[in-house]
Chain A
Amino acid sequence: MKFRLEKRDSRSTRMAVLVPVASLLVSFILGAIVLLISDANPFQAYAAMIKGAFGSQTKLQYTLVKSIPLLLCGLAVGIAFRLKFWNIGAEGQYVGGVIGITWVMQFWTFLPSALLLPVGMLVGILFGAIWGGIPGVLKAQWSVDETLTTLMMNYIIIGFAEYLYFDAWKAPRGNMGTVLYPKEAWLPRIWGRVHGGIFIALILVGILWFVLYKTRWGFELNMIGKNKRAAECQGVSIKKNIILAMLLSGAIAGLAGVIDAAAVTHQLTKGVDAGYGFTGIIIAWMSGLNPFISIIVSVIMAALETGSDALQMTMKLPNAMGAVLQGLILIPLLAGNIFIEYRLLVIKNRKEVTA
């Protein structure tokens, strides 16, 4: 018996749904093995995680609050991934956003307090866009490898943020963190802990879906990702689009940081680099770069994080379990993607057939 792969005439929609769902299941099975090795009962652990993520109204609210920056980071990364620009710097662009809004909240005191939030958000978004734009320009102009530049820029801005909250912008009292933003400039909550950022994120999903699927620019980005040469022949400027896409990608990652700072932390402090930018990569990939599907995926990813925090409290298991499961999802997903474009043919041994 032999196996052969044959290219499908068109992408299989059935597989495009089946593969991510199966990947999620496989990652839970593999995760169960990790739990067994580390001497824990997987059923109990998963039950504790589900309870910890959705078990009560407050827990559900925590999960939703976490899913907002995750969704935005997933969207941000997804735009760059569309043209196969590997932006792994959403983490740094997110931190850039937080630095931007904190700067306004702390030092632009001449503004009327009603303007602090909108101006702060704009400046934060701008910082994110700049931090994403630099690797974009480097890639577009001189084809400097973007995986490395975006990643190095993460370390730089995270170090800079550390300097700000430990040193330059440290509040007079306490040993780290800036002064809290003025209360009237906080992003209001709408349901328990869930804040207005959820509307911003959902509206953005709609806008992005329209832009990416219904406009000429979205079509151009897709074309660059699928076949650069063909895009060039059609007169699509690759340089311009890389820079534009990275400005937008950085801006959205910055927005994620801005929203979380304005609604949840209300300051720049330790833990600003919470890893949302990296989880965003998984979200983008798992949703097949589709903004609407990203919503579901980001809630799942957020649940893995809040669930693993609960795991640490109830079962004394390391909360890194969430990261293990998140990382594990990608592996079967990447392995399975081939079945979306190829069909597996089983060729029986000739002798057997003739026999």
Chain B
Amino acid sequence: MNMLDFITKLLAATLAMGTSLAYATLGEVYTQKTGILNLGMEGIMLMGALAGFTTAFNTGNLYLALMMAMLVGGFFSLIHAFLCITMRANQVPAGLAITMFGTGLANFLGERLGPASNGYNLTGMNIPDKFSNIAIPFLSDIPILGALFDVSLLTYALYLLIPFAWFFMYKTKHGMVVRAVGENPRTAASMGISVSKIRYIYTVIGGMLAGLGGACLSLSFTPSWNEGMTGGKGWIVIALVIFSTWNPARVVIGTLVFGGITSLQFSLQAAGLKMVIPSQFLGFSPYLITLVALATMTIINQKKKGSFASPSALGTSFAIDDK
């Protein structure tokens, strides 16, 4: 295999892997921009993966499957919003609760919603249809960059969604409202903005996107259901939000880098590097790299006096009558 082929294949794998991450990260960026930290992503993504897969398995309709995944994701993040906004619960344990409940429930239902012939288990079942890659003639033949034009509909949709998300946040009046709520809820409230309403809306939208991200895994990346199939991607998403410095446009960079490292790790394993480096080391390398990158970035950020700072009100509850 020549180098050009290898890079093209790597980019293709990166895009496939990164798609799911990009949806969920975009969702979390919007949620955090309003000041709500949702650590429930891992659970929400897994529930989304399950909802999408079950729907596709039973109806064969992929679009219905995506809608169900978004609905379920929205519902779980609504619980989070209720806890954090209405009940003023601490956002960290609330998110952990969503993750624990979501992963538990998804793993439980995954063993109950399957056909009786398979012991009610969904694992090992196939869906009649999946989101496969659609190659655009000519464009997909370009070396390396051609990989960008041989992806699934879910990835093509991102090419539109990411610029839109950036434009919406930085160039529209409504985007300014979102940022104001996360930066200074008190001022936003004094301008007549309903802080709670905005936070509810974007927490739910964030959850819907995370559900969609989960469904990308079970309907396209590895079209199947497996217990705990998100394997920590929901946590990587939280790190990617920090790497993107809460800017929807920069979500692309983070997901490409992380997707790239993970795919590279797989292809190195396949290429027999595990003779030199144990496969388990390659397996945890993405998490190690995330850890190192997170620490490095935080330290640099401090030296630069917070040029990539998080939304000021992130993680704090807000009530008008608070003193």
Binding site for B on A (CB under 8 A): 4-5, 34, 38-39, 86, 88, 138, 142-145, 147-149, 151-153, 155-156, 158-160, 162-163, 166-168, 278, 281-282, 285, 316-318, 320-328, 330-331, 334-338
Number of A-B residue pairs having CB atoms within 8 Å of each other in the complex = 143
Q: Which chain B residues lie closer than 8 Å to A327 at the CB level?
A: 43, 97, 100-105
Complex: A168 Cα to B277 Cα, angstroms: 12
B100 near A159 with CB under 8 A, answer no
Binds A, one of B161-169, B178-186, B248-256, B293-301: B293-301
B108 near A149 with CB under 8 A, answer no
Contact string against A for B residues 271-312, beta-carbon threshold 8 Å, 1 for contact and 0 otherwise: 000000010110110011011001100110010000000000
Binding site for A on B (CB under 8 A): 39, 43, 79, 82-83, 87-90, 92-94, 96-98, 100-105, 107-113, 119, 227, 232, 235, 238-239, 242, 278, 280-281, 283-284, 287-288, 290-291, 294-295, 298-299, 302, 319, 321
Q: What are the nearest 4 A-B pairs in CB distance?
A: A327-B101, A159-B284, A323-B104, A330-B97
Chain B residue with the shortest CB-CB distance to A142: B299
Complex: A165 Cα to B307 Cα, angstroms: 44
Pick from A4, A149, A152, A155 the residue with the most CB of B within 10 Å: A152
- Knowing A155-B232, A163-B280, A320-B108, say if A142 contacts B298 (CB, 8 Å): yes
Given contacts A159-B280, A327-B105, 12 further A-B contacts (CB under 8 A): A38-B108, A148-B238, A155-B287, A162-B280, A167-B278, A168-B278, A316-B119, A318-B112, A320-B107, A330-B101, A335-B83, A338-B89
Chain B residue with the shortest CB-CB distance to A324: B104
A155 near B284 with CB under 8 A, answer yes
Complex: A246 Cα to B300 Cα, angstroms: 24
- Knowing A138-B295, A167-B280, say if A331 contacts B290 (CB, 8 Å): no
A149 near B284 with CB under 8 A, answer no
Complex: A151 Cα to B294 Cα, angstroms: 12
Q: Which chain A residues lie closer than 8 Å to B109 at the CB level?
A: 38
Complex: A166 Cα to B280 Cα, angstroms: 9
Complex: A105 Cα to B103 Cα, angstroms: 35
Chain A residue with the shortest CB-CB distance to B88: A338
Complex: A166 Cα to B278 Cα, angstroms: 10
Complex: A151 Cα to B242 Cα, angstroms: 15
Q: Which chain B residues lie closer than 8 Å to A285 at the CB level?
A: 93
Q: Which chain A residues lie closer than 8 Å to B321 at the CB level?
A: 4
Complex: A148 Cα to B104 Cα, angstroms: 21
Nearest CB in chain B: distance from A338 CB, A: 5
- Knowing A281-B93, A324-B104, say if A148 contacts B281 (CB, 8 Å): no
Nearest CB in chain B: distance from A279 CB, A: 9
B294 near A144 with CB under 8 A, answer yes
Complex: A317 Cα to B120 Cα, angstroms: 10
A323 near B235 with CB under 8 A, answer no
Chain A residue with the shortest CB-CB distance to B289: A152
Q: Which chain B residues lie closer than 8 Å to A4 at the CB level?
A: 321
Q: Which chain B residues lie closer than 8 Å to A322 at the CB level?
A: 104
- Knowing A151-B235, A320-B107, say if A278 contacts B287 (CB, 8 Å): no
Q: Which chain A residues lie closer than 8 Å to B288 at the CB level?
A: 152, 156
Nearest CB in chain B: distance from A322 CB, A: 8
Complex: A61 Cα to B242 Cα, angstroms: 46
A320 near B104 with CB under 8 A, answer yes
Chain B residue with the shortest CB-CB distance to A141: B299
Complex: A337 Cα to B294 Cα, angstroms: 32
Nearest CB in chain B: distance from A158 CB, A: 8
Nearest CB in chain A: distance from B201 CB, A: 20
A330 near B39 with CB under 8 A, answer no
A331 near B101 with CB under 8 A, answer yes
- Knowing A147-B238, A331-B101, say if A159 contacts B283 (CB, 8 Å): yes
Complex: A88 Cα to B290 Cα, angstroms: 16
Complex: A160 Cα to B285 Cα, angstroms: 11
Complex: A167 Cα to B281 Cα, angstroms: 12
Nearest CB in chain B: distance from A37 CB, A: 8
Complex: A331 Cα to B43 Cα, angstroms: 14
Q: Which of B94, B227, B290, B302 contacts A334 (CB 8 A)?
A: B94
Nearest CB in chain B: distance from A89 CB, A: 11
Q: Which chain B residues lie closer than 8 Å to A86 at the CB level?
A: 92-93
Q: Which chain A residues lie closer than 8 Å to B83 at the CB level?
A: 331, 334-335
Nearest CB in chain A: distance from B245 CB, A: 14
- Knowing A142-B299, A163-B280, say if A147 contacts B108 (CB, 8 Å): no
Q: Which chain B residues lie closer than 8 Å to A5 at the CB level?
A: 319
Pick from A39, A88, A324 the residue with the most CB of B within 10 Å: A324
Q: Which chain A residues lie closer than 8 Å to B290 at the CB level?
A: 148, 152
Chain B residue with the shortest CB-CB distance to A330: B97
Q: Which chain B residues lie closer than 8 Å to A324 at the CB level?
A: 101, 104-105, 108
What are 20 A-to-B residue pairs whose CB atoms are below 8 Å? A5-B319, A142-B298, A151-B232, A152-B291, A158-B284, A159-B281, A160-B281, A162-B280, A167-B280, A318-B112, A322-B104, A324-B104, A327-B43, A327-B103, A330-B93, A330-B97, A331-B98, A334-B94, A337-B89, A338-B89
Nearest CB in chain A: distance from B115 CB, A: 13
- Knowing A152-B287, A153-B291, say if A160 contacts B112 (CB, 8 Å): no
Complex: A32 Cα to B103 Cα, angstroms: 18
Q: Which of B89, B101, B111, B302 contacts A142 (CB 8 A)?
A: B302
Complex: A338 Cα to B90 Cα, angstroms: 10
Q: Which chain A residues lie closer than 8 Å to B284 at the CB level?
A: 155-156, 158-160
A39 near B298 with CB under 8 A, answer no
Pick from B92, B119, B235, B284 the residue with the most CB of A within 10 Å: B284
Chain A residue with the shortest CB-CB distance to B286: A155
Nearest CB in chain A: distance from B41 CB, A: 12
Nearest CB in chain A: distance from B243 CB, A: 11
A318 near B97 with CB under 8 A, answer no
Q: Which chain A residues lie closer than 8 Å to B238 at the CB level?
A: 147-148
Complex: A336 Cα to B93 Cα, angstroms: 13
B105 near A149 with CB under 8 A, answer no
Q: Which of A148, A167, A330 contacts B100 (CB 8 A)?
A: A330
Complex: A322 Cα to B105 Cα, angstroms: 10
Nearest CB in chain B: distance from A263 CB, A: 27
